A and B are shown apart, each in its own frame.
Chain A
Amino acid sequence: MPKTLYDKLWEDHVVHVEEDGTALLYIDRHLVHEVTSPQAFEGLRLAGRKPWRVSSIVATADHNTPTDHWDEGIKDPISRQQVETLDANIHESGALAYFPFRDLRQGIVHVIGPENGATLPGMTVVCGDSHTSTHGAFACLAHGIGTSEVEHVLATQCLLQKKSKAMLVKVDGALGRGVSAKDLALALIGRIGTAGGTGYAIEFGGSTIRALSMEGRMTLCNMAIEAGARVGFIAVDDTTINYLKGRAFAPLGDNWDRAVAHWRTLVSDAGARFDAVVEVDARSILPQVTWGTSPEMVTDVKGRVPAPEDFADPVKREGVERALQYMGLTPRTPIDRIAVDKVFIGSCTNSRIEDLRAAAAIAKGRRKADNVKLVLVVPGSGLVKRQAEAEGLDKIFIAAGFEWREPGCSMCLAMNADRLEPGERCASTSNRNFEGRQGNGGRTHLVSPAMAATAAIAGHFADVRELI
């Protein structure tokens, strides 16, 4: 019987199955960061247990780390304690790799795994972070877990899982000029909703996906969780294999050839059956901007803020009313008349080299608008930062009046000092526009890196296609 990629990934990791179908899945890669791991290490110690296989662990500090004045360390004492706790836990347990605060290879956990070749096709990848779905770009079964499960994986190298249903999101046609994987992700979420993928594992396929770079694929898989799906993945092709060749933890020699032969099988068989299929015409997608407090509250840059009465369902209508009030927006306002106070270019969604190039292409030779108080550019890792500087992108950003910072999660979730003040409006390349996400009372509009840079230059949302 033809199998989906999901079937193949699942079956390759089943250690044991309970009567009700709950499976014990073997975990190949365990990514660890400072926020969701201290209680897990503590639990392990209290139970007198040891990590099962420390060579599966790749760890870094990213959520709490500052993005400037690294020479001064971490000023917030509780943030510092959390990072130091990770240092101590990894020091005690060991790991395949640890990239601590200020290490050249430190960065956002979902950036450093792939760029170091620690994320390989066919792996199960877990992390105490919902955006672990990012690694699905490499045909991995990758998803976020809670801290109890972090402890479970540390102790047993396995996870108890029920198999999800399989959804194919088939995207065909060329993306338009100025339209990126981020716009595709937002448009898809706008269509199926933030619960559209709940209970499903999503495979992204079709000619548009095949044409995406690995960076674009990571952006798309990263946002699968915003569509409700814990996992989103893409079959292996030449793009995948070419990206991995020569990376620090990628296999070498004979092992490389054997691995590639295996990875080539990581595709859905012709005729494989999916529980749901969503077809998307990429040519119809325009640059996207969210207007509300859920990623599904999105429209294109030529659109307008909706009115509550546009929604028939009373729960939805009330949600829209509340969102507009929180966002300080009047129904029917054209999106391109909404002014922004701050711009954030970064996060596990959009902080890779290609994202920075897209933003720099807009910023080049231009200046940020006077009403924009701050434009933060936060590379995803030390290696991304180094690459960007080698290409001169930092100079373009600085000349445009943007700030060029050190790597980390930064204002995506504002656990460090980078945040919005109450009422401030931000064009952000991150993944969540929830109330308070970027700072108490802050108002987040999700966009692509090119659209964020365009908003910085124009001072309000504007169509990137007019600047390229």
Chain B
Amino acid sequence: MRKFTQIDGLVAPLDRANVDTDAIIPKQFLKSIKRSGFGPNAFDEWRYLDHGEPGMDNAKRAPNPDFVLNQPRYQGASILLTRENFGCGSSREHAPWALEDYGFRALIGPSFADIFFNNCFKNGLLPIRLPASEVEALFALVQATPGFKLRIDLDAQTVTRPDGKALRFEVDAFRKYCLLNGFDDIGLTLRHADKIRDFEARRRIEQPWLFA
């Protein structure tokens, strides 16, 4: 997994609540058996005027000029500013894969859906929860300031605005440790292989019907 330490990134605002993972990556793209290449189809139904299907040359499709991420000022954004309950719905990890492949490294919003939130950390994508009032202020600043950037420091757990105001965020210590180091969860878990085997052996005796 790609490490996440610090970024200075251009911010793009997606000003709607309850953005679901079907919207982030529509179902027709889930037929892929790969975990890369989803970026050009992130937000496909909002982003293009035509209906997208796998295998299309996305460069030849007409972008929807009304969709915020298509505006020239947000090209190259690596931070997505969102509203409540971002990533709700389907557990598809294709959603964080699409966002990461698009170029996002961090998401900032008042709340995220549980499964999506968890999936982000497996892909070097940092979801940051900030109080609704701070998010509201960031939306106002982004809209008012072309080229608006934020600095995110995972080690310090801060989002710093251009005016110097630093917003502190919470992150689980274990997730932070994995993300800072780019650690593969499976490798870390397998350090406890003996414990897992012991647990399993005990369980086989206590609840044998689970091992039929």
Contacts and interface: CB of A to CB of B under 8 A. Distances in A.
Contact of B113 (A148, A228, A322, A437): A228
A435 B22 contact: yes
A64 B138 CA distance: 41
Interface string B115-153: 100110011000000000000000000000000000000
A82 B189 contact: no
A302 interface: no
B85 A194 contact: yes
Interface stretch (A157-165, A171-179, A383-391): A157-165
A247 B95 CA distance: 37
Given A26-B203, A195-B84, A249-B212, A158 B23 contact: no
Contact of B93 (A15, A16, A36, A42): A36
Interface stretch (B4-12, B30-38, B64-72): B30-38
Given A78-B54, A436-B45, A85 B115 contact: no
Contacts of A258: 208-209
A148 B185 contact: yes
B114 interface: yes
Interface stretch (B73-81, B155-163, B194-202): B194-202
Interface string B39-67: 00000010000010011000000000000
B16 interface: yes
Contact of A146 (B23, B31, B34, B93): B93
A51 B173 CA distance: 28
B92 interface: yes
B83 interface: yes
B34 A39 contact: yes
Given A47-B186, A146-B115, A24 B91 contact: no
A436 B115 contact: no
Interface residues of A, number: 81
A228 B203 contact: no
Q: How large is the interface on B (under 10, 10 to 19, 20 to 34, 35 or more residues)?
A: 35 or more
A355 interface: no
A354 interface: no
Interface in A400-458: 413-415, 432, 434-437, 440
A427 B204 CA distance: 46
Interface in B1-21: 15-18, 20
Contact of B32 (A28, A55, A78, A152): A78
A319 to B, nearest CB: 5
Contacts of B119: 146, 148-149
A35 B21 CA distance: 15
Contacts of B16: 315, 318-319, 322
Interface in B91-123: 91-94, 96, 111, 113-115, 118-119, 122-123
B33 A230 contact: no
B18 A26 contact: no
A250 B76 CA distance: 55
Contacts of A440: 26, 45, 51
A294 B83 CA distance: 15
Contacts of A264: none
Contact of A78 (B31, B35, B203, B208): B31
Interface stretch (A123-131, A214-222, A273-281, A372-380): A123-131
Given A22-B172, A145-B115, A315-B83, A16 B192 contact: yes
Nearest to B33: A38
Given A20-B174, A24-B192, A432 B89 contact: yes
21 contacts: A22-B175, A24-B196, A28-B210, A35-B92, A39-B34, A39-B93, A43-B35, A78-B54, A146-B115, A149-B122, A155-B190, A160-B189, A194-B18, A198-B111, A249-B212, A258-B208, A315-B84, A415-B28, A432-B20, A432-B90, A435-B22
Given A195-B18, A249-B212, A315-B16, 13 more contacts: A15-B192, A36-B93, A129-B90, A130-B90, A146-B115, A146-B118, A148-B185, A155-B190, A158-B192, A225-B89, A228-B113, A413-B90, A434-B89
The 6 closest A-B pairs by CB, nearest first: A146-B93, A251-B209, A148-B122, A144-B91, A146-B119, A20-B173
